[in-house]
Amino acid sequence: MVVFSEDHREETCRRGRIEVICGSMFSGKTEELIRRLRRATFAHQRVEIFKPAIDTRYSEGDVVSHDNNSIKSTPIDSSASILLFTSEIDVVGIDEAQFFDDGLPEVCNELANQGVRVIVAGLDMDFKGIPFGPMPALCAIADEVTKVHAICVKCGNLAYVSHRTVSNDKRVLLGEKEEYEPLCRCCYQKALKSEKTTSV
Ligand SMILES: Nc1ncnc2c1ncn2[C@@H]1O[C@H](COP(=O)(O)OP(=O)(O)O)[C@@H](O)[C@H]1O
Ligand SMILES: Cc1cn([C@H]2C[C@H](O)[C@@H](COP(=O)(O)O)O2)c(=O)[nH]c1=O
Ligand SMILES: [Zn+2]
């Protein structure tokens, strides 16, 4: 699998396309998004970055990675707002796409059809292992999907899901290492089993 996109033709030829970067928490989605967007800026392309306004974890206005890398962004409430900010833009970046409404895939399609390179990063699954918001539809319509992996904090294998370590059943719960840990399939099953036995 090609993890990092080094295809310079695809980076610069200005053909519209949709790239999706997905994975669990701590898998490097935001780092990879920032890396691709910075390279586009170095290539003198006009870049605009969006994130859902509800994601105020590290900053109101910036997209920030767990390693504190950051890039300026525009927080928005609805996917339709993206179209209002993207005339004369070559590359659109979108972080935390899982929190957006179901209109996001259509907005990305519209931009890509107009010749814009759209790079979307988001959680593929929620803490229950269920595909999250518009992410499955985005993966389906994408020209390229990159799945990145964190390291399982229990065994060191590749993680595939974000295990919630606090008791809260709401789908949306902003958080970090106090609330979530990346686990592989095997360690996730064990964690769920031990939660069941301790709750009875
Ligand atoms: N268990 C882990 N596995 C991999 N990276 C981790 C882990 N815990 C912390 N990190 C850090 O998280 C960084 C990735 O952060 P980020 O790009 O914000 O991830 P994501 O957006 O996927 O949550 C890594 O470069 C690494 O320094
Ligand atoms: C699994 C899961 C996560 N969240 C929240 C927790 C964080 O605030 C973000 C994910 O951020 P990251 O950049 O991917 O680390 O999403 C949630 O609300 N619900 C969940 O099930
Ligand atoms: Zn494991």
The HSE-up count of residue 157 (CA atoms within 13 Å, CB side) is 10
The token pair that represents 9 in the structure block: 């033709």
Q: What's the chain's average pLDDT? A: 93
Give the SS3 label for residue 41.
helix
**DSSP symbols for 16-27:** -EEEEEEESTTS
Q: Is 100 within 8 Å of 137 (Cβ atoms)? A: no
Our answer on whether the CB atom of 30 is closer than 6 Å to any ligand 1 atom is yes
Centroid of ligand 2 to alpha carbon of 125 (angstroms): 9
According to the annotation, is 142 in a ligand binding site?
no
According to the annotation, is 195 in a ligand binding site?
no
Q: In this structure, how many other beta carbons lie within 10 angstroms of the beta carbon of residue 113? A: 10
Q: Which one of 64, 98, 178 would you pick to mutate in the ligand 2 pocket, going by the greatest count of ligand atoms within 8 A of its CB?
A: 98
Average pLDDT for 45-59: 92
pLDDT on residue 111:
97
Whether the pLDDT of residue 199 is over 80: the answer is no
* Local confidence band at 2 (pLDDT 50, 70, 90 cut-offs): very low
Residue 64 amino acid letter: V
What Cα–Cα distance (Å) separates residue 137 from each residue in 95, 133, 161, 187? 16, 9, 19, 28
Q: How much is the ipTM here? A: 0.99
Average pLDDT for 35-58: 95
Q: Which one of 168, 180, 183, 192 would you pick to mutate in the ligand 2 pocket, going by the greatest count of ligand atoms within 8 A of its CB?
A: 180
48 vs 14, residue with greater confidence: 48
Listed residue (55, 66, 53) closest to 27, CA to CA: 66
- What percentage of residues in the chain have a pLDDT greater than 70? 92
Q: How far apart are CA 49 and CA 75, in angstroms?
A: 9
Q: How far apart are CA 190 and CA 200, in angstroms?
A: 16
Q: Is 134 within 8 Å of 124 (Cβ atoms)? A: no
96 is catalytic: yes
Q: Is 46 within 8 Å of 163 (Cβ atoms)? A: no
Q: Is 10 within 8 Å of 112 (Cβ atoms)? A: no
Our answer on whether the CB atom of 122 is closer than 6 Å to any ligand 1 atom is no
Give the SS3 label for residue 40.
helix
Q: Which run of H or E residues covers position 164?
A: strand 161-164
Centroid of ligand 2 to alpha carbon of 112 (angstroms): 26
Listed residue (95, 9, 86) closest to 46, CA to CA: 86
pLDDT on residue 14:
63
Query: What is the pTM (predicted TM-score) of this model?
Result: 0.94
Q: Is 105 within 8 Å of 137 (Cβ atoms)? A: yes
Q: Which of 96, 144, 176, 178 is catalytic?
A: 96
Q: How far apart are CA 108 and CA 92, in angstroms?
A: 9
Centroid of ligand 3 to alpha carbon of 197 (angstroms): 20
The pocket around ligand 2, CB under 6 angstroms, is made up of: 25, 29-30, 57, 123, 126-127, 162, 171-175, 180
According to the annotation, is 30 in a ligand binding site?
yes
